[in-house]
Amino acid sequence: MTTPSLKAFVSARAENRPGVYRFYGPGRELLYVGKSVRLRSRLLSYFRAPRGEKAWELVQESSAVEWEDIPNEFAALVREMKLIQRWQPRFNVEHRRRKIYAFVKVTRERAPRMLSVSKVVDDGATYYGPFPRVGALRSTVRELGKVLGLRDCPAQTQVFFSDQLEIFRAARPPRCMRADLRTCLAPCCGRPSAVEYRDAVTLARRFLEGRAHRPLRELEERMAGAASRMEFEYAAVLRDRLERLKSFQADLTAFRGQVEDLSFVYRVSGFAGDDRIYLIRRGRILDDLPYPRGRRARERTKAALEAVYSGPDHPPSALAAEEAAEILLVARWFRRNPQELKRTARPQDWKTP
């Protein structure tokens, strides 16, 4: 269509209601995805954009525009995010590139390692996250590993424990400088016992769960010792490391608590009476249903509640990057719209009408 034809098409058919819209170029290239609570007004505004602006350029390149009606702003926001992540339209900015989320991974190995990773795989490891700041997480995890003495060497590095039974025990040199600097318990050369290393891993898990502060206390003691020896430069390094770990644990605790709290039934009023309920568990929208009216609808809703909230939660290894993006989006929605929490109810407290 020509630009005047597109404008006439929108003017004749679009309604002022929530929705998600898409502009297409020649060959059905998806150029842009957007959302609005007043779809018709928003689409027509593109045709009033001054020459040279992004909206004007988009209209000039477009040969088609389509939209889908969405019951409410919350659902439109989620739908928009998923479409942009999937297709990455070149006129989009906010979600154009797939965001990379970071996770803290505690491996399932004889001597587990603690790593910062950007992918979750079903390998038996434990994952903590997601976190949006990949670079910051990597350096902080490295610092925590140094405090606890956990190894970060390659997976194929052989490990030995001081209490393992060996017929012939040979002296083994350390495999890296961390052993010499005493920032690693050094299972590569058999220094720690299996129990000592396991205890360090347990402490790491507890710290990541916000239930342990010993690594912080150890850094505080080292910093005080360095200051008493007048090693002020080293004390400053330890102070900075301590602040990073304090900030990291605060973020961990806040985010974990926020996600744990995002398990409820969320009722949203919709356009023209299309009210919906969203079944959210740990920040993930696991089902959405029309607000039940009538006996059969109530029975379907009751069955859906049972299926979503009574069964076991998905393990961390089932969390894909798209699901991580959804968790962060849902968390941001309720953080920016705290009044919406009044529309939620715990699954055990929610009653069908």
Cα distances from 163 to residues 18, 166, 170, 267, in angstroms, run 66, 9, 14, 58
pLDDT at 333: 93
List of residues 6+ apart from 219 with CB closer than 8 A: 147, 238, 241, 242, 245
Answer whether residue 66 shows pLDDT above 70. Answer: yes
* Mean pLDDT, rounded, of the chain: 88
Q: Hey, what CATH topology would domain 3-87 get?
A: GIY-YIG endonuclease (3.40.1440)
Binned at pLDDT 50, 70 and 90, residue 6 comes out as: very high
Asked whether the beta carbons of 115 and 108 are under 8 A apart, the reply is no
Tell me what the mean pLDDT of segment 107-121 comes to: 90
pLDDT at 285: 95
Mapped onto helix, strand or coil, the DSSP state of residue 30 is strand
Q: What percent of the chain has pLDDT over 90?
A: 54
List of residues 6+ apart from 263 with CB closer than 8 A: 280, 281, 282, 309, 346, 347
Binned at pLDDT 50, 70 and 90, residue 313 comes out as: low
pLDDT at 310: 87
C-alpha to C-alpha distance for 129 and 105, rounded to whole angstroms:
9
C-alpha to C-alpha distance for 286 and 302, rounded to whole angstroms:
14
C-alpha to C-alpha distance for 171 and 186, rounded to whole angstroms:
13
pLDDT at 130: 75
pLDDT at 53: 93
Asked whether the beta carbons of 113 and 337 are under 8 A apart, the reply is no
pLDDT at 95: 53
Tell me what the mean pLDDT of segment 53-73 comes to: 96
State the pTM of this model. 0.69
Name residue 69's beta-bridge partners: 19
Cα distances from 270 to residues 38, 75, 310, in angstroms, run 13, 10, 27
pLDDT at 319: 57
Q: Where are the domains of the chain?
A: 3-87, 102-163+174-259, 262-345
pLDDT at 240: 86
Render pLDDT for 35-45 as a digit per residue (tens, 0 to 9).
999 999 999 99
pLDDT at 202: 93
pLDDT at 17: 97
pLDDT at 23: 97
C-alpha to C-alpha distance for 59 and 57, rounded to whole angstroms:
5
Tell me what the mean pLDDT of segment 318-322 comes to: 61
Render pLDDT for 212-253 as a digit per residue (tens, 0 to 9).
888 888 889 989 998 999 999 988 888 888 888 888 877 776
The residue type found at 27 is G
Tell me what the mean pLDDT of segment 146-165 comes to: 90
Please provide residue 321's backbone torsions phi and psi, each rounded to the nearest 5 degrees.
-60, -35
Comparison of pLDDT for 3 and 323, the residue scoring more: 3
Return the closest-CA partner of residue 226 out of 242, 214, 238.
Answer: 238
Q: What percent of the chain has pLDDT over 70?
A: 90
C-alpha to C-alpha distance for 264 and 41, rounded to whole angstroms:
33
C-alpha to C-alpha distance for 127 and 103, rounded to whole angstroms:
6
Question: Which of 17-31, 79-93, 186-200, 246-260 shows the lowest per-residue confidence on average (mean pLDDT)?
Answer: 246-260
Tokens coding 278: 């969203």
